[in-house]
Structure 1
Amino acid sequence: MASNILSHTLFLLVITMATYHISHASDPDITSDFIIPANRSTVDGTFFTFSGMRAPFQVDWPEAFNVTKASMAQFPALNGQSVSYAFLQYPSLSINPPHMHPRAAELLLVIEGSLEVGFIDTTNKLYTQTLNTLDMFVFPKGLVHYQYNANPNDPATALSAFGSANAGTVSVPSTIFATGIDEGILATAFKTDIPTIQKLKAGLAPPKA
């Protein structure tokens, strides 16, 4: 009897710990100060330095929305550190289309200009806000959201912080219309016809070289 009680207690403890871990999961914890890539044997201060954010300021202003990322892919020192950034540029009337980050919340800081932002929760409720210079807005983890520069004359810039070294980005338009899902399935899902789906897909096709 005592053995059964102990077994059940241990089982419940394991389940509780597993549930807690899943519900609080983000980037995995590391057991060292930092992670050295396999192709490097030693590191110095340059390994912990990222200069990629200079790039947007060394070229002409983009004609369409542009993002410069500092995530694990571009900055390997972030591996295991549960943080990353993105620098966002919005020409007049440009949009960062609806998208989501499956592995992190996003904290957006408007550096210059203004933005119309919004996200949709799991009950399909839309939350919107107009942000001005130095305003901040948080997009909860995994929820679809967007940013739009409604100003017809002035550009806007923003900086986004993520609680993951690899937050991931899933673009809603591209994921739905540019990944090969059967056009008949899409037409049925959106209660329209195949020619309409084909027009939407054509608009998302990359420009020919």
Structure 2
Amino acid sequence: MAFEILKNPLFFLLVALATTQIASAGDPDILSDFILPPNVTEVDGTFFTYTPFFGKSLDAVEPETFKVIKVTMKEFPALNGQSVSYAILLYPIGTVNPPHTHPRSAELLFLMRGSLEVGFVDTTNKLYTQTLQAGDMFVFPKGLVHYQYNNANDTSVAVSAFGSASAGTVSVPLAVFNTSIDDGILAKSFKTDVYTIQKIKAGLA
């Protein structure tokens, strides 16, 4: 019976359609020009303008630690349904954007100022690294663990574009050590002892 299904052309058509749907998975397409917030029926040009983005970052006092200023559909509702968002990233000297992933989007980083060491790890655990200078761009593939590190002697500034209105961020250190995963399980997973795991957790607290 199962082999008869495999001979049916309709089966292959359904498999092809399902595969195409998975391959194009991302923000859903919308059936209107844009999406208004609930209980809003009319807007003007200000709805499509987000002025605080650059003002809050580049004109502000330089931070002492790594800082990211996101503009997703949470901060800018007009992005809902548009499959795009941005972030400004500020890296004081010697700071790092720790290993993390964006489960719903690739990231295209444009380095505006300074220098950055960047890298990502693919599904075969191969590390790809590059040292970027101002004007360079680098793409982090969707869902892969990646990081950025300011190895220069000045603050670095980058802008990242995402192919999702809500790309999501999963911090590897926090997801592993700042959740409720049992210390014993983590100790076995990292081939160490519970005391070491607790020290790492305390450092991230």
TM interval, shorter chain, is over 0.9
Report the CA distance between 1:19 and its aligned residue.
1.2
The percentage of counterpart residues that share the same residue type is 63
Identify which range, 34-43 or 102-111, moves more after superposition.
34-43
SS in 1 for 2:179: coil
SS in 2 for 1:32: coil
Matched, 1:84 2:85: yes
Q: Deviations over 1:6-60 (max 9, x none)?
A: x933332122111111111111011111111113121111110112311123431
Q: Deviations over 1:66-90 (max 9, x none)?
A: 0001111111111111111000000
Q: Map 1:44-83; keep pairs closer than 5 Å.
A: 44-53=44-53, 54-83=55-84
- Measured in 2, the distance between the counterparts of 1:179 and 1:60 equals 32
Number of residues paired by the alignment? Answer: 200
Q: Map 1:6-155; keep pairs closer than 5 Å.
A: 8-53=8-53, 54-151=55-152, 153-155=153-155
CA contact (8 A) 1:52 1:70 kept: no
Q: Deviations over 1:166-207 (max 9, x none)?
A: 1110000000000111000000000011111011111111xx
SS in 2 for 1:16: helix
Structure 2: give runs of 5+ residues left out of the alignment. Answer: none
Identify which range, 51-60 or 155-164, moves more after superposition.
51-60
The one-letter code sitting in structure 1 at the alignment partner of 2:43 is V
Matched, 1:181 2:199: no
TM-score, normalised to structure 2, is 0.94
Matched, 1:198 2:198: yes
- Measured in 2, the distance between the counterparts of 1:159 and 1:105 equals 14
SS in 1 for 2:29: coil
RMSD, matched Cα = 1.4
Identify which range, 49-58 or 175-184, moves more after superposition.
49-58
The one-letter code sitting in structure 2 at the alignment partner of 1:160 is S
SS in 2 for 1:63: coil
Q: Deviations over 1:131-189 (max 9, x none)?
A: 000000000000000000012x3110000001111111000000000011100000000
The one-letter code sitting in structure 1 at the alignment partner of 2:125 is N
- Measured in 2, the distance between the counterparts of 1:92 and 1:180 equals 33
Structure 1: give runs of 5+ residues left out of the alignment. Answer: none
Matched, 1:163 2:163: yes
